[in-house]
């Protein structure tokens, strides 16, 4: 025992199968810790697939598919599933990617041009255009949190996906804003660390940003699109199967039901040829 904090003689209960879901904050960091090294792999593959630039959309869709599987708890084979998702979602994500690149160029130009113009004039029209550009960028980014997860998870046409994304951004505004705030914080940190932070680009930031967005957005997609679809058919969303406990098992998992007991100190019962014979003590008691 160290300062009364860690008592290795006192047993505790195990982990209960089918226990309650963890709070989102703790689940986020649990997944991030478990998949930390996979983020490096995915980020590097993503950067390589984005080298032609025009493949930005399909590469983002492929990465989103892997992050979606992290969120719902499915195992993955990184390169195989990345490449399969890249091919499967190529057409829709290519269109979205080209639109994205166009919007990025327009927004960057507007912000740069009108910010410079404000230094020489206080014209109200310039201020309004700059404010609209910032607001447009804000909403476009939050809508994109929902676009790519729908491309990889649902069989919908692109106009319907874009319409859904706007609605989901509004009904799930708390999660949308949380993801945006986290993105903003990461990007600011990268800017503060410039140029040294550029060394991290092949290693982590794109995968982490995508995971943040998917973690925040996908439960909203499940709640308002996927779950109602299965409920209308009288079925349960199979993505929740890891929480099911209704399967009949030969042996019952009693994790979490053990009664904590204090393990007594080891006692010497006798000596045989000068060697101490220790008495075994009991551990957990399962009722």
User: Cβ(211)–Cβ(39) under 8 Å?
Assistant: yes
Please state the rounded mean pLDDT for residues 38-43. Answer: 94
Please state the rounded mean pLDDT for residues 124-135. Answer: 83
pTM beyond 0.85: no
**pLDDT over threshold 50, residue 269:** no
78 inside domain:
yes
Burial string for 27-57 (b: 16+ CB within 10 Å, else e) reads: ebeebeeebeeebebbbbbbeebbeeeebbb
211 inside domain:
yes
260 inside domain:
no
Which of 188-192, 200-204, 246-250 comes out lowest in average pLDDT? 246-250
pLDDT of residue 248: 47
1 inside domain:
no
**pLDDT over threshold 60, residue 260:** no
**pLDDT over threshold 90, residue 109:** no
Domain tally, the chain: 1
165 inside domain:
yes
Domain containing 83 equals: 38-233
At 266, is the pLDDT very low, low, confident or very high (cuts 50, 70, 90)?
low
213 inside domain:
yes
115 inside domain:
yes
Between 227 and 9, the more confident residue is: 227
226 inside domain:
yes
Please state the rounded mean pLDDT for residues 128-134. Answer: 84
């Amino acid at each position: 025992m160290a300062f009364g904090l860690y008592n290795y003689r006192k047993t505790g209960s195990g982990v209960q199968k089918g226990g309650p879901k963890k709070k989102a904050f703790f689940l986020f960091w649990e997944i991030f810790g478990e998949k930390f090294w996979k983020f490096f792999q995915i980020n590097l593959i993503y950067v390589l697939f984005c080298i032609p630039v025009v493949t930005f959309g399909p590469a983002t869709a492929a990465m989103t598919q892997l992050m979606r599987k992290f969120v719902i708890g499915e195992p993955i084979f990184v390169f195989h599933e990345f490449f399969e998702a890249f091919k499967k979602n190529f057409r829709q994500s290519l269109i979205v990617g080209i639109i994205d690149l166009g919007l990025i160029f327009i927004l960057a130009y507007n912000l740069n041009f009108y910010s410079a113009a404000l230094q020489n004039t206080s014209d109200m029209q310039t201020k309004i255009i700059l404010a609209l550009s910032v607001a447009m960028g804000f909403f476009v980014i939050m809508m994109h949190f929902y676009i790519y997860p729908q491309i990889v998870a649902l069989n919908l046409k692109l106009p319907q996906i874009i319409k859904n994304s706007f609605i989901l951004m509004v009904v799930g505004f708390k999660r949308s804003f949380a993801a945006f705030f986290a993105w903003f914080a990461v990007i600011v940190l990268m800017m503060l660390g410039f140029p040294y932070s550029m060394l991290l680009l092949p290693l982590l930031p794109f995968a982490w940003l995508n995971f943040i967005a998917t973690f925040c957005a996908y439960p909203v997609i499940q709640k308002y699109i996927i779950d109602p679809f299965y409920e209308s058919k009288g079925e349960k969303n199979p993505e929740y199967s890891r929480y099911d406990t209704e399967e009949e098992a030969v042996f019952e998992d009693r994790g979490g039901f053990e009664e904590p007991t204090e393990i007594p100190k080891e006692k010497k019962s006798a000596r045989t040829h000068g060697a101490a014979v220790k008495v075994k003590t009991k551990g957990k008691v399962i009722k």
